[in-house]
Amino acid sequence: MRIDIISCVPDLMTSFFGHSIIKRAQDKDLLNVITHDLRKYGIGNYRQIDDYQYGGGAGMVLKPEPLGQMIDELNETISYDEIIYLTPDGETLNQSMANGLSLQKNIMIIAGHYKGIDQRIRDLYVTKEISVGDYVLSGGESAAIILVDTIGRLIPGVLNDETSALTDSFQDNLLAPPVYTRPAEYKGMHVPEVLLSGHDAKIDEWRLDQAIERTKQRRPDLLEHNDDEKM
């Protein structure tokens, strides 16, 4: 998979993409993340990429010309399955969406900044708008990191244990059950006996029961979603 990210400040993402799981994915040639500096396409001597809003109001808006030129040039060599704009008014990112995006071959991400991007860019180029939550960030770079991490870890071969991602929270609309490691006793608290039994079927049953109970307590809305899908 190839992911191109258009950003005003691409250096903000360099450290994350150069470490841990996403770095290993790139080292294995399973994922290629390329960041692009929008200021290279800025207008005039000062490489201007933003301007005041028409109609007044606080906050600057990313201009259409630099963004459009960069998108056009990327489109000349790459056929994108999705051109994603990260915005608070987009569809909220969830595990199901991440699963679908992980099956794509080429994705472009536009990391917004300031007050956002000119609406004409959204109308002309963007195929999907995504929000990472009901809050506002200073820029789209941190949201881009979240999105790439969410997608990248689902690509087969990226995680050492390929079943790991399948047992994460939100797969099947359930939160993950409690997990334990050595030692078996810590400060008088013991690991549940079933996890020490070696009986795979009983362990799977316990984990499912715990996942359902935890979801009931913390995110009952997920169980309601399960019921809706069965109808």
Three-state secondary structure of 11-31: HHHHHHHCCHHHHHHHHCCCC
pLDDT along the chain (231 residues), means of 10: 98 95 95 98 96 94 98 98 97 95 98 94 98 94 98 90 63 89 97 97 96 96 71 44
| pTM assigned to the model | 0.89
212-218: long-range contacts, CB 8 A cutoff, minimum separation 24: 212/174, 214/174, 214/175, 214/176, 214/177, 214/178, 215/173, 215/174, 215/175, 218/175
- Spatial CB neighbours of 8, under 8 Å, sequence gap ≥ 6: 37, 38, 39, 49, 62, 111, 113, 139
Token pair, residue 97, equals 């969406």
Identify which of 131, 152, 144 has the alpha carbon closest to the alpha carbon of residue 7. Answer: 144
**Three-state SS at 10:** coil
Burial of 142 (0-12, 13-18, 19+ CB in 10 A): middle
Q: What pLDDT is attached to residue 160?
A: 75
Q: What pLDDT is attached to residue 231?
A: 44
8 Å CB contact between 4 and 72: no
Q: CATH number of the domain at 169-230, please?
A: 1.10.1270.20
Identify which of 52, 26, 6 has the alpha carbon closest to the alpha carbon of residue 149. Answer: 26
C-alpha distances in angstroms, 94 versus 18, 67, 103, 134, 228?
A: 25, 27, 15, 13, 17
Q: What pLDDT is attached to residue 167?
A: 62
**Range 2-152 has CATH code 3.30.300.30:** no
Identify which of 41, 43, 18, 40 has the alpha carbon closest to the alpha carbon of residue 31. Answer: 18
Q: Parse the chain into domains and list their residue ranges.
A: 2-152, 169-230
Token pair, residue 22, equals 């996403």
Q: What pLDDT is attached to residue 173?
A: 87
What CA dihedral angle connects 126, 149, 7 and 109, to 10 degrees? -10
8 Å CB contact between 155 and 102: yes
Residue 144 phi/psi, 5-degree rounding, is: -65, -40
